[in-house]
Amino acid sequence: MSIATPTQTAAGSRIRYVALAGNPNSGKTTLFNALTGLRHRVGNYPGVTVERREGRLAGNDITVLDLPGTYSLNARSPDEEIARDALLGRHPPVPELVIVVVDASNLERNLYLVTQVMDLGLPVVLCLNMTDQAERVGLQIDIQTLERELGIPVIPTVASRGKGLDDLRMLLQGAPPSLPVRRWRLPEAMKAEVVELAHLLVEERLCAPESAFFTALALLSDATGLSVIQNHPRARAAVDRAWQRLEAADVDPQSAPVEARYEWIKGICDRATRQGEIPITWSDRVDRIATHKVWGFVLFFALMALIFQAIFTWAQAPMSWIETAQTWLGEQAGALLPQGDLRSLVVDGVIAGVGGVIVFLPQILCLFFFIGLLEDSGYMARAAFVMDRLMSKVGLHGKSFIPLLSSFACAIPGIMATRTIENRRDRMATILVAPLMSCSARLPIYTLLIAGFIPATRLWGGISLPAAVMVSLYLLGLTAALLMALLFKRTLFRGEAPLFLMELPPYKLPAMRTVLLQTWERGSHFLRRAGTIILAISILLWFAMKYPGSPSQSDAARLQQSVAGRAGRLLEPVIRPFGMDWKVGIGILGSFAAREVFVTTMAIVYNVEDGDEERQSVSVRQQMREEIDPATRKPRFTPAAAAALMVFYVLAMQCVSTMAVVRRETGSWKWPLFQWAYMFVLAWTGATAVFHLGRLLGLG
């Protein structure tokens, strides 16, 4: 019997099950997502793919399996073992085809795995991915030569841009290609031993004929598969004898196959590739500025300012439409329902509460649209690169940037993303500071206070003061996070910041589809929240603000007496130092369930308190502006007080869900409680300082 020669080409049969193998970061997951249409996030660090991921090829009944990324099939790590066992059919079904995804800019190293997969007795196709990257480094690859030398089909692709995928799909429609032929040459002495052992394994029914050569070689060269023959004394003895003979023949069974494979690979690369001049692309030129020590920061902050400026201007019109619609709805409901608690619940509780949050949808959409553009164009990786310099100064890993960046959306995914940080100290420090980044739930609060109390004057360069204040709030959160990280790394979690290596993907035109999809996902998440959690909390809050009490009392008296009113007054002494009263106290307590509820609560507080029908349509910010402090007989919300409240919300933890996630990720309540406490101290101190400073400056 001959082994590892094409036994039978599966002519006529169809491909149903395809496995994707490849080195880490060769683009497997990107290809997998493009082929199956499943949406996954793609990480940039080796070893992200640890679980088994399957998907269906769009419009077909072909199943694709994304294997863990490995450099070889030697089974020295769990990832390698999973990949090898799946390909050997130990986790059925056996794939009819293996696509090895190869980073074309790193051909020599990547081909090592290819030579191993080719030994498995399965049809193999080489997906030559990242050909754009190869071009960038001046590497020219002759596809025909490569195909001829390897003896398997080669399909050049750029998975991240969908290039070449049609060719790949076409190939999957047909019959599997014939089995590859092994062309690399083991030293004769070793080859004889492998072939003999392979025969024995097949005879003993220890493995299939197709993969016998691979298994025999694995047994002899790195002994990792010895468990296969544990209970087979005959095979064990054969392996021992083979080792003795190899030693006598002066062949090292471990290094001989590695050398032989590389020798073959080197020959192929010599004939199929040519290193040309490295072209200086416009991408490199842009990067000279985008990753510059000084200009990189300037560019980053300029972009941020521009984005917030745009958020303010563009979102204005749709926001006023939503406000108009909400007022109209409130009036309609008010006209339909009889005067009384039910009407108040619907109009003041539900419509004012939920509407008060939904109004911010345009801004949320704008923010995530721009973040999506930056991400997809490749700029975000530069921002991470620039920020890494800052991060390492505070003793944090560059890997912490991604969790912190995600925390701009919401601290919860951000904290979950810290799982990619292997070092426990770095991970803990990152978790502890992540909620300081301004999440999207804070945006409504910022906007409410800015629109109400910051005059819309223009600064130099046409930047409006509100936009500048907004950027400062985000920067305050970021700065506080970095400073606290520095403190934590110096005290609780001492340790060196490990080295961070990052590849910068080339710039590209953002794919509108991806960006819009992501924006929509965020937007619908926000709407779902408004329709569920926020709705529920609004209703609960309405009850808390009405009861105990009876409709015969005046609305203001009823609010004062209610559960919420009393709770607010309990909190009042704590927040008075930064100019707040019990009504804001209700808002702060309510927003603990979800930050944006602050806006909701204030809407309900003023609508509930102010039963006057005429004033139902007056916006919350208007009502806040007109609020009089009974002690001083002056407006309650001076610019100083509004600024203090903003600072409070930038720095306070104020979110139960985040605390629950921190508890889950750190395994104890100790950390979320500590985190809540330190952030509260920070927020209280910051707010109080700002309030008094503002008064000194004559703003209060």
Give me the residues that bind Mg ion (CB under 5 A), please: 28-29, 49
Residue 158 within binding range of ligand GDP, rule CB under 6 A: yes
CA atoms within 13 A on the CB side of 420: 20
Instruction: Give dist(CA 439, CA 675) in Å, integer.
Output: 16
Residue 69 within binding range of ligand GDP, rule CB under 6 A: yes
From the list 17-25, 210-218, 334-342, 551-559, the region that binds ligand GDP by CB under 6 A is: 17-25
Q: Is the CB of 29 or the CB of 666 nearer to Mg ion?
A: 29
- Cβ neighbours, 10 Å, residue 617: 14
Closest residue by Cα to residue 662 from 418, 468, 322, 424: 418
> Torsions phi, psi of 106, nearest 5?
-135, 45
Indicate which of ligand GDP, Mg ion, none lies near residue 42 (CB less than 5 to 8 Å, by partner kind).
ligand GDP
Closest residue by Cα to residue 471 from 596, 304, 280: 304
CB of 66 to ligand GDP, least distance (A): 7
Question: Residues 24-53: x/- map of binding to ligand GDP (CB under 6 A)?
Answer: xxxxxxx-----------xxx---xx----
Indicate which of Mg ion, ligand GDP, none lies near residue 70 (CB less than 5 to 8 Å, by partner kind).
none
Q: Is the CB of 32 or the CB of 213 nearer to ligand GDP?
A: 32
CB of 65 to Mg ion, least distance (A): 12
CB of 21 to ligand GDP, least distance (A): 10
Helix (H, G, I), strand (E, B) or coil at 149: helix
Fill in the DSSP letter of residue 552. Answer: T
Q: What is the residue whose two structure tokens read 């959160």?
A: 477
Indicate which of ligand GDP, Mg ion, none lies near residue 160 (CB less than 5 to 8 Å, by partner kind).
ligand GDP
Instruction: Give dist(CA 50, CA 28) in Å, integer.
Output: 12
Q: Is the CB of 26 or the CB of 131 nearer to Mg ion?
A: 26
- 642, amino acid identity: A
CB of 231 to Mg ion, least distance (A): 36
Question: Is the separation of the CB atoms in 620 and 550 below 8 Å?
Answer: no
Q: Which of 36, 160, 400, 658 binds ligand GDP (CB under 6 A)?
A: 160
User: For the chain, how many residues are written?
Assistant: 700
Q: Does residue 551 have a cis peptide bond before it, meaning omega lies within 30 degrees of 0?
A: no
Indicate which of ligand GDP, Mg ion, none lies near residue 268 (CB less than 5 to 8 Å, by partner kind).
none
Q: What is the residue whose two structure tokens read 């841009």?
A: 161
From the list 125-133, 347-355, 387-395, 512-520, the region that binds ligand GDP by CB under 6 A is: 125-133
Helix spans in 26-69 (H): 28-36
Instruction: Give dist(CA 409, CA 339) in Å, integer.
Output: 41
From the list 128-136, 245-253, 410-418, 666-674, the region that binds ligand GDP by CB under 6 A is: 128-136
CB of 201 to ligand GDP, least distance (A): 32
CB of 126 to ligand GDP, least distance (A): 14
Instruction: Give dist(CA 445, CA 31) in Å, integer.
Output: 41
Q: Is the CB of 49 or the CB of 440 nearer to ligand GDP?
A: 49
Indicate which of Mg ion, ligand GDP, none lies near residue 121 (CB less than 5 to 8 Å, by partner kind).
none
Q: What is the residue whose two structure tokens read 């779902």?
A: 528
Q: Is the CB of 49 or the CB of 440 nearer to Mg ion?
A: 49
Say what the alpha-carbon torsion angle 615, 617, 618, 624 is, to the nearest 10 degrees. Answer: 90
- For residue 457, the surrounding DSSP H or E stretch is none
Binding site for ligand GDP (CB under 6 A): 22, 24-30, 42-44, 48-49, 69, 129-130, 132-133, 158-160, 505-506
